[in-house]
């Protein structure tokens, strides 16, 4: 393995030459929503939705929400029926809720309290709050932020990223009363997180010169880093990329990284760290998930930027064998998080309503959405390439 090898400019140029041509990608028209309606269900009862997680043994989808950013306001976990999205129960939390992860073996759910820099630990059966684990240090009037949360299904270790200018990765050990290991200098804006439990590897993704940090899951030791080679100087202003979220194809040894800066998907070889493909995905690219059952990649894009604040986003579906675009599904206004059902037969998406009153789709008091796609039905309705 050559995990410690950084990608040279020549290797990057070669890798980018393997990417699907942008013109071919952009030629794929957006799907008419009426065309795929038989494969979709939508629930609009919630406000401030963010992450979600499936509880497969209970046929439930848990959705984290924070209706207000004001300090001291509560967060919520709304429990929906995973088949028809009926609301089943609401759990109020003492801190604002953004990310979600499940430890099925131990019956625990972890809620990332992003703005409070902590984790809320819930009993996955009763919904009772078991603990609050403070991770972030005080930072001004608040705390260092947490972001993505992942759980090793075997060890129960919990991994949490912090997208700061230096980057932090926390590892929480539930078998030692929630003991926390802190790894600093995890990389500029270390926001994204992917876990290969079988190989004992954690991938923290962000920006900077080396955009991906590889960590030994058992010890927390750094193993190496991946770099596109596109950023030559340190600091956020010089960063060509921001890999805000990541997903893995463990069998194919590929890391899929959603690049918010470039509006593209980057594919890394996890053996060598080389960029093996890129594919344009859309303005404000955000989340990515891989279906090994279908060999497809799903990517959300918000459709907006600071320079273009009035757009609307969707989901891009890519063929993971050649990175060709299968479809672009518009989902007004801002698709956010993706969850793939354990069966591989359903895809859940949280979609945020615009918060800015100037946005053409803004509605006073409007709610956010949760969508469920039946992927078998969707496959029959999408255009054939």
* pTM for this model (two decimals): 0.92
Whether the CA torsion 277, 325, 247, 229 is positive or negative: it is positive
The per-residue pLDDT for range 210-260, each reduced to its tens digit, is 999 999 999 999 999 999 999 999 999 999 999 999 999 999 999 999 999
Assign 3-state DSSP to the chain and report helix, strand, coil percentages, each to 5: 10, 45, 45
pLDDT tier at 384, thresholds 50, 70, 90: low
Q: How far apart are CA 246 and CA 304, in angstroms?
A: 20
Q: Which of 383, 378, 369, 274 has its CA nearest to residue 50?
A: 369
The per-residue pLDDT for range 157-201, each reduced to its tens digit, is 999 999 999 999 999 998 877 789 999 999 999 999 999 999 999
Residue 329 has pLDDT above 70, yes or no: yes
Peptide bond into 333 cis (omega under 30): yes
pLDDT value of residue 235: 94
pLDDT value of residue 175: 80
130: CB partners within 8 A, 6+ apart: 108, 121, 122, 123
Q: What does the block give as tokens for 243?
A: 């890999």
Beta bridge partners of 278: 266
Burial class (CB within 10 angstroms; exposed 0-12, middle 13-18, buried 19+) of 141 = exposed
């Amino acid at each position: 393995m050559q995990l410690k090898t950084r990608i040279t400019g020549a290797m990057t140029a070669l890798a980018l030459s393997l990417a699907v041509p942008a013109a071919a990608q952009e030629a794929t028209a957006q799907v008419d929503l009426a065309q795929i309606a038989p494969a979709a269900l939508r629930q609009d009862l919630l406000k401030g939705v963010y992450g979600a997680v499936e509880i497969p043994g209970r046929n439930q989808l848990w959705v984290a929400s924070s209706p207000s950013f004001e300090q001291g306001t509560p967060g919520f976990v709304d429990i929906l029926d995973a088949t028809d999205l009926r609301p089943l129960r609401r759990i109020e939390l003492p801190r604002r809720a953004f990310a979600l992860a499940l430890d099925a073996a131990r019956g625990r759910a972890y809620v990332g309290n992003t703005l409070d820099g902590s984790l809320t630990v819930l009993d996955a059966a009763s919904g009772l709050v078991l603990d609050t684990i403070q991770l972030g240090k005080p930072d001004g009037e608040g705390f260092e932020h947490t972001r993505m949360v992942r759980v090793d299904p075997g060890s129960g270790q919990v991994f949490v990223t912090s997208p700061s200018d230096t980057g932090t990765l926390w590892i929480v050990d539930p078998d030692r009363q929630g003991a926390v290991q802190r790894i600093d200098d995890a990389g500029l804006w270390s926001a994204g997180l992917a876990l290969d439990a079988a190989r004992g590897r954690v991938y923290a993704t962000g920006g900077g010169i080396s955009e991906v940090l590889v960590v030994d899951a058992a010890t927390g030791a750094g193993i190496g880093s991946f770099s596109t080679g596109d950023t030559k100087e340190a600091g956020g202003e010089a960063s060509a990329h921001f890999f805000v979220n990541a997903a893995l194809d463990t069998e194919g040894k590929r890391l899929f990284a959603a690049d918010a800066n470039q509006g593209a998907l980057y594919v890394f070889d996890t053996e060598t760290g080389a960029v093996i493909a890129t594919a344009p995905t859309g303005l404000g690219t955000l989340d990515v998930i891989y279906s090994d059952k279908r060999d497809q990649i799903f990517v959300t894009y918000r459709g907006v930027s600071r320079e273009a604040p009035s757009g609307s986003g969707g989901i891009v579906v890519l063929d993971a064998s050649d990175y060709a675009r299968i479809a672009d599904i518009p989902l007004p206004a801002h698709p956010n998080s993706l969850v793939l059902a354990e069966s591989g037969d359903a895809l859940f998406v949280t979609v945020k309503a615009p918060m800015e009153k100037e946005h053409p789709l803004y509605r006073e008091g409007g709610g956010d959405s949760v969508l469920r796609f039946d992927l078998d039905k969707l496959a029959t309705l999408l255009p054939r390439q």
